Amino acid sequence: MKYHLIWMTAAVMMTSACGDGKPGYDASGNFEADEVIVSAQQNGELLSFPINEGDKLNVGQVVGQIDVTIPALQQQQVQASIHALREKTNNPQPQAQLVERQLVVQEAQLQQLYRERKRTENLVKSDAATQKQLDDMNAQVDQLEKQLNVTRQQRNLYNSNIATQNRSILSEQAPLEKSMAQFAEQVRRGQIVNPITGVVLSRYALKGEMAATGKPLYKIANIDTLFLKAYVTGVTLPKIKLGQEVQVRIDQGRKEYKAYPGTITWISDKSEFTPKTIQTKNERANLVYAIKVRVKNDGYLKIGMYGEMLIPQK
């Protein structure tokens, strides 16, 4: 009964404001903002969370830290395993290294025998050496070439084994790298990063509390621009359109108003019953349409404050 009397009193005062018994505005409602509830993205103790209600935060600002010791240690462990696997691929087998050095020596010896054989051939032509000496030289060349081919086959076999081993190692490395990326993401999510520029409206957690994934930490909104959510009747609806410039006003004293320019940004496509707290221009209308008017805030507008919209007369 008390609230009914207050509402009736307010209705009488606004009705008496106009000589024809009609309120001097086209729609009324309350200011609201796009509010964002920031939640924890990781489980753990809140090691730091220094924000307070009313603080102005910038987008991307770090506002807290959740304990991520366990995923950080797991990340280091996986990283060490990957490093050990890479060491295996970077260090060939000792046998393979020995064969490679042997191959280098044999190739150098063969080149020296080629030169000696060429010199012996020239000596035979000039009768300074015998044919047997040349035959012996050819036999040495032939024997070393065969040894060199065997060594090359051994090298190719070791290289093949190493390649197979490396493929096996790399197949183990791929899932480890994915695990490390997952742990790195968990560590990153332990840092609480503010998503938008705005003012903290509510704080739901304190330093030292346990945070859980999805648990709200604080609510923030950009109050530089507010939206007047008002309601118009079907009679007023044809007079407005998206992007239309209108006037918004708030009470300033008992009989004075403070006016702001506004822009209609949204018009509901469905009607609804008149909210009990809203007095429309046509009090007899049961169905109204919700609209939103964007208003630049000079600091005096507050979320939840009552406001009125007026359509400029042409």
Tokens representing 48 are 């730091």
Residue among 190, 284, 192, 281 nearest 240 (CA): 281
- Give the separation between CA 307 and CA 257, rounded to whole angstroms: 10
Q: Which residues contact 269 (CB under 8 A, 6 or more apart)?
A: none
CATH code of the domain occupying 27-34+222-310: 2.40.30.170
- Give the separation between CA 29 and CA 32, rounded to whole angstroms: 10
pLDDT digits (tens, 9 = 90+) for 30-48: 999 999 999 999 999 999 9
Please spell the DSSP secondary structure of 69-133, one letter per residue.
HHHHHHHHHHHHHHHHHHHHHHS--HHHHHHHHHHHHHHHHHHHHHHHHHHHHHHHHTTSS-HHH
Which backbone phi and psi does 9 adopt, to 5 degrees? Answer: -65, -45
Q: Is the distance from CB of 231 to CB of 278 less than 8 angstroms?
A: yes
Tokens representing 102 are 């042997």
- Note the pLDDT of residue 71: 92
Asked if CATH classification 2.40.50.100 holds for the domain at 38-68+191-220, the reply, yes or no, is yes
- Note the pLDDT of residue 12: 33
Report the Cα 128 to chain-centroid distance in Å. Answer: 85
Please spell the DSSP secondary structure of 142-182, one letter per residue.
HHHHHHHHHHHHHHHHHHHHHHHHHHHHHHHHHHHHHHHHH
Q: Is the distance from CB of 205 to CB of 49 less than 8 angstroms?
A: yes
Name which residue leads in pLDDT, 221 or 135: 221
- Note the pLDDT of residue 55: 96
Q: Is the pLDDT confidence value at 251 over 80?
A: yes
Mean pLDDT of 163-173: 70
> Can you say whether the dihedral through the CA atoms of 110, 115, 119, 124 is positive or negative?
positive
Tokens representing 268 are 């509901």
Residue among 52, 65, 62 nearest 220 (CA): 52
Q: Is the pLDDT confidence value at 286 over 60?
A: yes
- Give the separation between CA 243 and CA 265, rounded to whole angstroms: 6
**Residue 15 in 3-state DSSP?**
helix
Q: Is the pLDDT confidence value at 145 over 90?
A: no
Name which residue leads in pLDDT, 130 or 258: 258
- Note the pLDDT of residue 223: 94
- Give the separation between CA 183 and CA 177, rounded to whole angstroms: 10
